[in-house]
Amino acid sequence: MAYNLLKGKKGIIFGALNEQSIAWQTALKAHEEGAQLVLTNTAVAMRLGTIAELGKICNAEIIPADATSSEDIENLLKKSMEIFGGKVDFVLHSIGMSPNVRKGLPYDALNYDYFHKTLDISALSFHKILLSARKLDAIKEWGSVVALSYVAAQRTLDKYNDMGDAKALLESIARSFGYIYGKDKKIRVNTISQSPTMTTAGAGVKGIDSLIDFTERMSPLGNASAEDCANYIVTLFSDLTKKVTMQNLYHDGGFSSMGMSERAMRQYDKSFNDCD
């Protein structure tokens, strides 16, 4: 059911690779809620994924950009403003990648070139987008910028590796830039800390199936899906959340406030008995 929450709004969505992507689901919802969109991803991701299909569904132009390149970002912002005939109302940063995770290098044997890449792609790219947007004055007053984070920014999770550091930096950038952009332009900047979700990036985390099972048992409301996340993101792009900024907002069915649940305890007891 649509509520016209984004009627007349224009937005840029980074990170739709395929149907599983959180960004893909967000584009569908934002389109359904009346927004006009520009979609973007790296040229490689555009070839490997199915973003062209999404562009057709949402009637959106697709502009390639590597989010680690300020030049690409500026080009994207300029072209988007041409397409929209003016400034942008919202931006979604839905980008993450760790070469260390991909190559299976553990945290105590990280490759530092890869570590830099992880931080550049997964966190500094957010700063670059905000900085370029500010430089070009590309976002309207009371606009909204959202990036996707994970609870590994606050808690240590086995195998999440240097992505935990990247997410901590990402959340800090939202606060630091949220202050500057808020006082100057009334633009809000937030991160959403999403449940583990079976996407291409999610599948890259070793043991994701067990993690999803664990958080499902621990969360009183169960895990949030990519579609649930898209619904939440749309509210943050809407005018109903104008005074929410510099926040890391948990969207995880309650997981982040839990210590132990009955469902998880039962599982633990069962495996304990199985071992007997």
Ligand X SMILES: NC(=O)c1ccc[n+]([C@@H]2O[C@H](COP(=O)([O-])OP(=O)(O)OC[C@H]3O[C@@H](n4cnc5c(N)ncnc54)[C@H](O)[C@@H]3O)[C@@H](O)[C@H]2O)c1
Q: Please state the separation of Cα 216 from the chain's center in Å.
A: 20
Both tokens assigned to 18 = 């395929």
Active site residue 250: no
By rule CB under 6 A, what count of residues binds ligand X? 27
Q: Which is nearer to ligand X, 200 or 267 (CB)?
A: 200
Instruction: Provide, rounded to whole angstroms, the least separation between the CB of residue 219 and ligand X.
Output: 13
Q: Which is nearer to ligand X, 94 or 100 (CB)?
A: 94
The helix (run of H) or strand (run of E) holding residue 74 is helix 70-84
Site string for ligand X, 198-237 (x = CB under 6 A): -xxxx-----------------------------------
CA pair distance 139, 116, nearest whole angstrom: 28
User: 3, 107, 114, 150: which one is catalytic?
Assistant: 150
Active site residue 150: yes
CA pair distance 162, 168, nearest whole angstrom: 10
Neighbours of 70 (CB within 10 A): 15
Site for ligand X in 22-41 (CB under 6 A): 22-23, 41
Site for ligand X in 158-177 (CB under 6 A): none
User: 107, 112, 114, 160: which one is catalytic?
Assistant: 160
Cβ distance 86 to 77 under 8 Å? no
Q: Which amino acid is at 166?
A: A
Q: Which is nearer to ligand X, 20 or 267 (CB)?
A: 20
Cβ distance 139 to 89 under 8 Å? yes
Task: Choose, by CB under 6 A, the member of 97, 130, 218, 234 that binds ligand X.
Answer: 97
Site for ligand X in 50-79 (CB under 6 A): 66-68
Cβ distance 195 to 253 under 8 Å? yes
Both tokens assigned to 40 = 């973007």
Task: Choose, by CB under 6 A, the member of 27, 95, 169, 187 that binds ligand X.
Answer: 95
Q: Which residues contact 214 (CB under 8 A, 6 or more apart)?
A: 264
Residues that bind ligand X (CB under 6 A): 14-15, 17, 20-23, 41-42, 45, 66-68, 94-97, 121, 148, 150, 194, 196-197, 199-202
- Tell me the catalytic residues: 150, 160
